[in-house]
Structure 1
Amino acid sequence: MTAAKRTAKELEDLQQELPPYLRDLTYNPTNVLEWHMLLLPERSPYNLKAFKLCITFPRAYPLMPPSVAFTTPIYHPSVDDSGQVCLAITSDENWNLHKKAYQVLDAVNTLVNHPESGEPLQLALAEELEKDPELFNRHAEEHTLENGVERPS
């Protein structure tokens, strides 16, 4: 099965039973290997707004993992300035061809709702989270309110 066929099938399955933390799951009309969606975090401080995400599948999918990027800025130690996300599930050690996109999206949702300082992409944010969680949450809330997308009702 080609990457395009597999992602089209996974997209169809996911759209039929969209998790409550996702909305507006679409794909690039010229490329089914690029999906766009709105993430609705459940926990503070990120639950004040929503965040646009893009998941991109390589042509070798499912042999190689997809990559996930926020297109809405987010104040998070595991997301770099360009929006790229560091996920354990998509690492070379953890990825296998039996994993699916919905598992990657579940991992993104968990990561956002439970920020951790281990294996950060932004060291300063990880240090802030570890040393002063209240300050981190205040900065994350301000950033979310300023940059986040309005949540659909």
Structure 2
Amino acid sequence: MPEESTWEPPEGSWASSAARRRNMQAIRSRDTKPERVIRRLVHAKGLRYRVAARPLPDLRRTADLVFRPTKVAVFIDGCYWHGCPEHYVSPKTNPGYWSEKVARNIARDRNTDHQLTEAGWLVLRFWEHEQSDVCAATIAAAVLERRGQPHVPED
């Protein structure tokens, strides 16, 4: 008779490790709904960009939208994973691990901002809960300004 497993989920957890793994794997790192909506709006303004690309070849980080000629990198940050001051809530299960993970993400974001800025890039960061049309207008204005084109406000 095979030995019984001694692993038990943490107290308060509703999922087995396999279920939690499937759940975590289902979370998108790109092509989230806020990203897709903002991309569609920016594209409708006639701007073209790279999706999920490295702004700097030696930097192992990708931006959600990259405008290489004008050196504009856009990040649409998820409230949970990037520690939104308005919406982040520490999880009840294994809070130490997850809070440290989010803190590392925030530190990496700041480091990314610093490295890109030092290389002459403009970094634009938006939270997933921000209004997509406002984000798209801000992105378009920044790209056009860096191209040396006047930005014409929409009606």
Shorter-chain TM band: 0.3 to 0.5
TM-score (norm 1): 0.34
TM-score (norm 2): 0.33
Structure whose CA Rg is larger: 2
